[in-house]
């Protein structure tokens, strides 16, 4: 018997997978029609499960509002007092269901700590008659949720609380709100820009470092901005772009608009710089949302001073937004096709397409295909390496292992990759940190789950 029954239209399946995973991670057993065993009678299985479920989540969309199956399931749940309606698109529920409060999930991006999911969790608890309290320390065994995302049979005492703490601790890495303010002094060992300043032999850069970690961040940024502007006035665009990139990395810790402005300056000075594009794209996504990030990518694609490889790179990135933020894998596939179409014979462009495809295929729960994408990317990585741009395919491997239920393997891979990146002073991808945290908890390594 499942806690939660998901009622939805088949066309919305890509939206429902992340919801099922988030509910399972929150401790609920979840049933959706992907769990119907082979040979089972479809209608009988659904009837049995919806009757046994404690709560029924009706996922309203344009398609599901017109589906007689979803309306029938929602009507049954409403009459039994266990309906929890959500809107996965900006739609009004059908007549007969508008008296129920419908939670807005149209902009939800899979974040278990987002206000929408928190409200859903509370609604499920009310419907199931559960107390609004921390999960019990040792949940009973539960059947495996869909798509290979398995719950452990037992979690050590305190693991539920640790998961809540971990979710809060990693809020800065989510895309539904700007990163929280960080303590600059605490960030120093992990921020490559600060590490570079600390090791610099330039008196000005050393002064900027001392000011930054000493608490006068605005003075530090003023020094670095002046140094970057001096390089720009001298016509040294490449060096100036690198300097503004460093300003952006530091300003984003304390002054996000200032940081984005510096990132933009770096890209305008070096419009064919892959790192400059990637930094500005992802920072825009994190701080302003998917629409501005996608608009920036489209603007880059339309520029006349951008070469075809950067244009392909700019096409590959919105595929990630389409898959992760919009849950639209068809749009993601279209962006990947555009990446390849620029020059089908260029192995670098093909590697870009494979990198994006590995994430999109993981999002659609096609794990075998996602792993094949990564394997093919590895075959082409020598061509890609000439551009000196890190492509964290290890993130894809970590996610795939987690989705397969190999939490220990996911955790070990993630931690090993993070340690290697730290030693090299390289960028730490936030999905890798998040995956290390979550897989560590699932693997029973609660004390090590925030590496």
Q: Do 269 and 204 sit in the same domain of this protein?
A: yes
Pick the residue with more confidence: 105 or 24?
105
Q: Which residue has the tokens 């729960």?
A: 365
87 bridge partner residues: 60, 104
Check if the beta carbon of residue 417 is closer than 8 Å to that of residue 430.
no
Give the chain's domain count.
3
- Burial class of residue 332, CB neighbours in 10 A (0-12, 13-18, 19+): buried
Supply the pLDDT for residue 391. Answer: 58
- DSSP for 108-130, please give it: --S-TTSHHHHHHHHHHHHHHT-
Does any domain span residue 399? no
User: Do residue 282 and residue 198 come from a single domain?
Assistant: yes
Q: How confident is the model at residue 150 (pLDDT cuts 50, 70, 90)?
A: very low
CATH of the domain at 99: 3.40.50.10140
- Joined together, the tokens standing for residue 267 give 């890209």
Give CA–CA dist 368/362, Å, rounded.
Answer: 9
pLDDT at 388 over 70: no
Average pLDDT over residues 23-31: 85
The reply to whether 370 falls in a domain is: yes
216 and 334 housed in the same domain: no
Tell me whether residue 168 is in a domain. Answer: no
Asked if residue 330 and residue 263 are part of one domain, the reply reads no
For residues 259 and 345, membership in a common domain is answered with no
Is the domain of 114 the same as that of 238?
no
The domain that holds 220 is classified in CATH as 1.25.40
Residues 58-108 have pLDDT tens digits of 999 999 999 998 999 999 999 999 999 999 998 889 888 887 788 989 888
Is 294 within the bounds of a domain?
no
Q: Does residue 404 fall inside a structural domain?
A: no
Residues 84, 196, single domain; the answer is no
Lookup result for tokens 């979710």? 167
Q: For residue 57, what are the β-bridge partners?
A: 6, 84
Q: Is the pLDDT of residue 239 over 70?
A: yes
- For 252, the domain range is 183-288
Give first-to-last CA distance, the chain, whole Å: 36
Res 151 pLDDT > 60: no
Check whether 266 has a pLDDT greater than 90. yes
358 and 225 in a common domain: no
The CA radius of gyration of the chain, in Å to the nearest whole number, is 24
**Do 189 and 146 share a structural domain?**
no
By the 8 A CB rule, do 389 and 274 touch? yes
Cross-strand partners of 6: 57
Phi first, then psi, for residue 415 (nearest 5°) are -65, -45
Tokens for 160, please give them.
Answer: 């539920």
The arithmetic mean of pLDDT across residues 153-174, rounded, is 30
Q: What are phi and psi of 112, to 5 degrees?
A: -70, -10
d(CA 14, CA 50): 21
Taking only the tens place, the pLDDT of each residue in 32-59 is 875 444 344 467 778 888 998 999 999 9
Residue 283's alpha-carbon distances to 222, 252, 375, in angstroms, are 21, 9, 28
């Amino acid at each position: 018997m499942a806690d939660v029954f998901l009622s939805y239209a088949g066309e919305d399946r890509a939206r429902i997978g992340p919801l099922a995973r988030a509910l399972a991670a929150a401790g609920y057993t979840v049933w959706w029609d992907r769990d119907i065993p082979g040979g089972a009678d479809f209608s009988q299985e659904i009837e049995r499960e919806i009757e046994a479920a404690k709560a029924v989540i009706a996922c309203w969309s344009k398609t599901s509002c017109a589906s007689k199956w979803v309306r029938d399931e929602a009507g049954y749940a409403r009459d039994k007092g266990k309906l929890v309606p959500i809107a996965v698109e900006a739609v009004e529920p059908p007549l007969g269901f508008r008296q129920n409060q419908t939670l807005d999930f149209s902009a939800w991006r899979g974040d278990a700590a987002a206000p929408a999911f928190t409200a859903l969790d509370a609604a499920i608890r009310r419907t199931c008659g559960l107390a609004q309290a921390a999960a019990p320390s040792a949940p009973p065994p539960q059947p495996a949720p869909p798509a290979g995302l398995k719950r452990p049979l037992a979690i050590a005492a305190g693991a539920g609380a640790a998961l809540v703490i971990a979710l809060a601790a990693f809020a800065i890495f989510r895309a539904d709100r700007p990163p929280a303010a960080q303590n600059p002094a605490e960030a120093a060992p992990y921020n490559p820009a600060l590490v570079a300043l600390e090791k610099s032999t330039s008196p000005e850069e050393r002064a900027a470092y001392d000011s930054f970690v000493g608490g006068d961040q605005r003075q530090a940024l003023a020094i670095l901005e002046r140094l970057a502007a001096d390089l720009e006035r001298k016509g040294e665009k490449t060096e100036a772009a690198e300097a503004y990139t460093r300003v952006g990395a530091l300003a984003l810790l304390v002054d996000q608009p200032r940081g984005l402005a510096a990132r933009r300056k770096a890209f305008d000075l070096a419009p064919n710089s892959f790192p400059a594009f990637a930094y500005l794209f992802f920072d825009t996504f994190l701080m302003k949302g998917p629409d501005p990030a996608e608009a920036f990518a489209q603007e880059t694609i339309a520029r006349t001073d951008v070469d075809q490889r950067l244009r392909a790179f700019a096409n590959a990135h919105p595929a990630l937004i389409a898959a992760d933020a919009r849950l639209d894998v068809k749009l993601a596939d279209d962006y990947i096709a555009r990446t390849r179409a620029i020059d089908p014979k260029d192995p670098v462009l093909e590697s870009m397409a494979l990198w994006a495809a590995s994430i999109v295929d993981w999002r659609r729960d096609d794990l075998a295909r996602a792993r094949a994408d990564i394997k093919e990317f590895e075959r082409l990585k020598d061509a890609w390496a000439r551009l000196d741009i890190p492509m964290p395919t290890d993130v894809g491997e970590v996610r795939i292992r987690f989705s397969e239920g190999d939490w220990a393997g996911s955790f070990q891979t993630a931690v090993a990759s993070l340690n290697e990146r730290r030693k090299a002073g390289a960028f730490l991808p936030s999905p890798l940190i998040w995956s290390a945290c979550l897989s560590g908890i699932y693997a029973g390594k609660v004390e090590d789950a925030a590496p």
